[in-house]
């Protein structure tokens, strides 16, 4: 018997860009930019603020070296509307398994339920397939926003694994 809250974790993938169901949302004011900011606090800020309601906690205890090492491995994209930041996503390419993982994707809460999450995910999937990969993957759980799983499925991603885990926020 485990301590903590029982949650469900879902692993999803998309095996071809042809299977992507693109979001209809579009706004000429929105720009998704590959971030090349060397300032770790920028990454920490977005991770902490966007993830605070969803128990994104694992990186909060990282050292600066851990942050630098991780940032060197990913592609980090930021969604902007002029000078305002709306959200971000990260892509981690795994050459060994020939896949790209969307490690994190999130938007600030004042943009929920406006179609922006679907717009951001569509872009993440398209950019993931810019490399010759077998598939793009992501995982989510019942701690994440209720629309997260719906958004992944709406874009054509398929659940390939589901598990129950126990989450104890005191361990983070």
Cβ atoms of 19 and 112 within 8 Å: the answer is no
More confident residue, 172 or 53: 53
Spatial CB neighbours of 10, under 8 Å, sequence gap ≥ 6: 139, 140, 141, 149, 152, 159, 161, 162
Percentage above 70 pLDDT, the chain:
97
pLDDT given for residue 171 in this prediction: 55
What's the whole-model pTM score?
0.93
Instruction: Tell me the pLDDT band of 7, cut-offs 50, 70 and 90.
Output: very high
Average pLDDT, the chain: 92
- Give the Cα-Cα-Cα angle 155, 44, 64 (nearest 5 degrees): 125
**What residues does each domain of the chain span?**
5-171
CATH architecture of the domain formed by 5-171: 3-Layer(aba) Sandwich (3.40)
Q: How far apart are CA 88 and CA 46, in angstroms?
A: 8
């Amino acid at each position: 018997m485990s301590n903590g809250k029982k949650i469900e974790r879902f692993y999803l993938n998309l095996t071809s860009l042809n299977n992507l169901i693109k979001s209809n949302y579009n706004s000429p004011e929105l720009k998704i930019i590959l971030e090349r900011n060397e300032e770790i606090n920028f990454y920490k800020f977005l991770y902490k603020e966007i993830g605070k309601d969803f128990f994104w906690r694992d990186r909060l205890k990282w050292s600066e070296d851990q942050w630098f090492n991780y940032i060197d491995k990913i592609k980090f994209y930021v969604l902007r509307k002029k000078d305002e930041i709306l959200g971000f996503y990260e892509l981690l390419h795994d050459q060994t398994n020939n896949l790209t993982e969307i490690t994190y994707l999130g938007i600030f809460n004042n943009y929920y339920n406006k179609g922006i999450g679907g717009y951001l995910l569509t872009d993440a999937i398209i950019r993931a397939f810019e490399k010759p990969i077998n598939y793009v993957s992501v995982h989510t759980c019942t701690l994440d926003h209720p629309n997260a799983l719906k958004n992944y499925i709406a874009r054509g991603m398929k659940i390939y694994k589901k598990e129950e885990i126990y989450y104890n926020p005191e361990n983070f």
